[in-house]
Amino acid sequence: MTIAPGRPRHDHPARPAAEWAAARMLAHTLPAALPEESVPLAAATGRTLAAPLRAAVALPGFDNSAMDGYAVRGDGPWRVVDRILAGRTHTVASLVAHTAVEVATGAPVPDDADRVVPYEAADRTGDVVRATPGDRRHIRRAGEYAQPGQELAPAGSRVTPTTVGLAASVGLDMLTVHARPRVRLVISGDELVHTGLPRWGRVRDAIGPMLGPLLSAWGAALLDSRMVGDHPDWFAGAIADSTADADVTIVCGASSVGPADGLHSSLRRLRAVVHVDGVACRPGHPQILAQVGPRWIVGLPGNPYAALVAALTLVDPVLAALTGRSLAELDAAVLAGPLRPDDRNTRIVPVRRRDGQLRLVEGAHPGYLGAAATADAFAVVLPGWQPGDNVSLLTLP
Ligand SMILES: Nc1nc2c(c(=O)[nH]1)N[C@H]1C(S)=C(S)[C@@H](COP(=O)(O)OP(=O)(O)OC[C@H]3O[C@@H](n4cnc5c(N)ncnc54)[C@H](O)[C@@H]3O)O[C@H]1N2
Ligand code: MOO
């Protein structure tokens, strides 16, 4: 962005910056969850259940053996009358006292079997099996884990690979989840280049490549990234176009007060409702949350580490709300320093865990991602913090 000499721009209203935690909470409470849709299990991981996951069948579906061995009835010794492997569906001869059926783990056991004697506890000679008495039945009864219709996970749960496995085991092929928010990136800056070596005066776009995977991990469907030059008309046009089909438009750069920083004027032209205009945090002060009808606009600062902080502050909470997931509770930990306390702003600093202690990763700058890239987490250091006080920890997915 170029600042035209003698034309400082002060045409956006001076508002008090929002306190960091309040801005994050507002970004999570304002948007309503998107409608539900039904998706195949293979596409469900990372989504949020919009309806409880209920068993379609009983689990186990039939009485079956928990061990390889002999299903027996009554006291031993037992005469072996049949052999049943898992997957065999022939009806099992009912057992009379002193008889046994050889069974594999998971194979159906006759209704009247008392217990399964594992091979290790059995002594077989010809057709006759002996074993010492045992307390364990080693039979998994039909429906003992889940009954048809039983709720196994509530609405609002995040679908994990384990959830998908559970859903499959109770007979489901589809899950009801919230729709994925359609998100577009609008990246501004005449100085930006997108591949190769930037020549003098040019800068590689670092925010687009960083945000793409982050947005996917937060549950968004990235429509595309659009590059816009620093002309206010182009900028307002790009945002207006984007809000036609994107649930969330993320604007990178142009958030500050320079003459080419057209976000504020574009929002006014679009008659957007601005909920957050500046957050009292360092870095990442010039961040914006606005709304045009049901569409959301998040403005991130152009400095890449500041943009990451703003994404953690506003984008993650907005996407959490739209996808129906709750906002992660932040773990607390002691941070020893070295860090200068700040009485007015929340600081978001990269930290690493070493030898059970949380340490600052030094060398973070708003315009540089080096320290952030080697961090385990980002400490939220509230105004008034002193070395040794608690901080809360933001993590990346
Ligand atoms: N007079 C003031 N100047 C500035 C203020 C202020 O309050 N008063 N705030 C400063 C802060 S804090 C930040 S952060 C930046 C935010 O600037 P913008 O959001 O308007 O972004 P730009 O001016 O376009 O760029 C800032 C900086 O970042 C580089 N940049 C931009 N986009 C990208 C990208 N996609 N990838 C990598 N680097 C990018 C750009 O070249 C600039 O160096 O404003 C301060 N100024
Ligand atoms: O957001 Mo700025 O310096 O705070 O990078």
DSSP β-bridge partners for residue 227? 187
Closest CA to 227 of 248, 266, 253: 253
pLDDT in the model for residue 257: 67
Please state the rounded mean pLDDT for residues 7-13: 41
Phi-psi map region of 261: left, alpha, beta (phi>0 left; psi -120 to 50 alpha): beta
Helix (H, G, I), strand (E, B) or coil at 134: coil
Q: How far apart (Å, rounded) are the C-alpha atoms in residues 348 and 340?
A: 12
Ligand 2, residue 283: give the atom nearest the CA.
Answer: 4
How many angstroms separate the Cα of 6 from the Cα of each of 3, 13, 220, 258, 259? 9, 20, 42, 11, 10
Residue whose CB lies within 8 A of the most ligand 2 atoms, among 282, 305, 308, for a mutation test: 282
Ligand 1 neighbour 207 (Cβ under 6 A): yes
Q: Which ligand is nearest to the CA of 261?
A: 1
Each residue of 228-246: pLDDT tens digit? 887 777 888 999 999 999 9
Please state the rounded mean pLDDT for residues 248-261: 79
Quick check: 378 pLDDT over 80? yes
Ligand 1 neighbour 313 (Cβ under 6 A): no
| Amino acid found at 211 | L
Quick check: 210 pLDDT over 90? yes
Q: Which ligand is nearest to the CA of 206?
A: 1
Please state the rounded mean pLDDT for residues 15-30: 92
Quick check: 179 pLDDT over 80? yes
Question: Any idea what DSSP says for residue 364?
Answer: -
| Amino acid found at 199 | R
Which residue in this structure is represented by tokens 């793409």?
212
Please state the rounded mean pLDDT for residues 116-125: 96
| Phi, psi dihedrals of residue 134, rounded to the nearest 5° | -135, 155
pLDDT in the model for residue 9: 38
CA of residue 187 to ligand 1 center, whole Å: 12
| Cβ proximity of 337 and 379 under 8 Å | no
Ligand 2, residue 282: give the atom nearest the CA.
Answer: 4
CA of residue 264 to ligand 1 center, whole Å: 14
pLDDT in the model for residue 236: 87
Q: Which ligand is nearest to the CA of 255?
A: 1
The binding-site residues of ligand 2, defined as CB within 6 angstroms of any ligand atom, are 282-286, 301, 303, 306, 366
Closest CA to 392 of 344, 343, 327: 327
Ligand 1 neighbour 261 (Cβ under 6 A): yes
Residue whose CB lies within 8 A of the most ligand 2 atoms, among 285, 314, 345, for a mutation test: 285
Residue whose CB lies within 8 A of the most ligand 2 atoms, among 276, 303, 349, for a mutation test: 303
Question: What's the pLDDT band for 371 if we cut at 50, 70, 90?
Answer: very high
- Buried b / exposed e over 9-45, threshold 16 CB at 10 Å, is beebeeeebbbbbebbebbbebbebbebeebebeebe
Question: What's the pLDDT band for 90 if we cut at 50, 70, 90?
Answer: low
pLDDT in the model for residue 2: 34
* Domains along the sequence of the chain with CATH: 20-34+180-323 (3.40.980.10), 37-58+145-178 (3.90.105.10), 64-140 (2.170.190.11), 331-394 (2.40.340)
Q: How far apart (Å, rounded) are the C-alpha atoms in residues 130 and 84?
A: 19
pTM for the full predicted model = 0.88
Output the average pLDDT for the chain: 91
What ipTM was predicted for this assembly?
A: 0.97
CA of residue 179 to ligand 1 center, whole Å: 33
Each residue of 308-367: pLDDT tens digit? 999 999 999 999 999 999 998 999 999 987 888 888 999 999 999 988 899 999 999 999
Please state the rounded mean pLDDT for residues 60-76: 95
CA of residue 91 to ligand 1 center, whole Å: 74
